[in-house]
Amino acid sequence: MRRGKYSSNVTWFTFVLYWNMALVYKKFKMSYSSYFEALEECDLKSLEHRRLCIDLIFTYKLMVTKEIIIDDPIFEFLDHSRLRRHRYYLKSLTTNSNKLSSQILSNRVLRCWNSLSDLVFPVKPSTSVFKSRICKYDLNHFLSLNPTNY
C-alpha cells in the first residue's frame, strides 16, 4: 500500500479516519459521531449488550422454562443449597481453555448468569417477565466494550 508522506501507521490511520469523516459529511450532510455517541443519540443499546441479553434469554428458555431442547447439554445446575446463590446457578459442561472456546455461548454467558440477582428471576417461570427484567438490569460491567474504555 502506498502511503506517500504518511510514514507511520498512526498518521496513516488518522488520515484515513479524517477522510472517512469528510465523506460522511459530504454524503449525508451530518458530522461524524462515535459509535457510543450515535447509540446515545438514537437511544439504543450496544450490539454487545443486546447480544448478552439475547444469550441470557436463550439460557433461561433452555434451562428454566424448557422452551428450547437440545440433544447435548451445555449447562447443568449446581447445588445451591449451601451458598447464597439464586436457584438457577449453572455450571458449564464445556471447557474455557482458549480464546476460541471463550466465545462458545456457555462460556460467554455463564459469569453474567451466575451473578444475576435473585430478583431477576420470576417466582413462576415466565420468559416474558424474565425478558423485561433482564432488559432493565444493569449489565455494563459484563461488557468488554463500553464508553469508559473505548
**Any domain includes 80:** yes
Give the number of domains in the chain: 1
Q: Output the nine-digit C-alpha cell for 102.
A: 471463550
Domain that holds residue 106: 47-142
Where is pLDDT greater, at 54 or 95? Answer: 54
Grid-cell match 447509540, residue found: 39
**Any domain includes 14:** no
Q: Is the pTM of this model over 0.85?
A: no
Q: Output the nine-digit C-alpha cell for 11.
A: 498518521
- Residues 12-68 have pLDDT tens digits of 667 676 677 677 666 666 666 777 887 888 888 889 999 999 999 999 999 999 999
**What's the mean per-residue pLDDT of the chain?**
80
Grid-cell match 464508553, residue found: 147
pLDDT for 73: 83
- Check: CB of residue 56 under 8 Å from CB of residue 143: no
**Any domain includes 42:** no
**Any domain includes 68:** yes
Q: Using CA atoms, how far apart are residues 91 and 83, in angstroms rounded to an integer?
A: 14
6 pLDDT more than 70: no
Radius of gyration (C-alpha) of the chain in whole angstroms: 21
Q: Using CA atoms, how far apart are residues 108 and 101, in angstroms rounded to an integer?
A: 9
Q: What residues contact residue 35 under an 8 Å CB cut-off, 6+ apart?
A: 46, 150
Number of H helices, E strands in the chain: 5, 2
**Any domain includes 32:** no
pLDDT for 107: 76
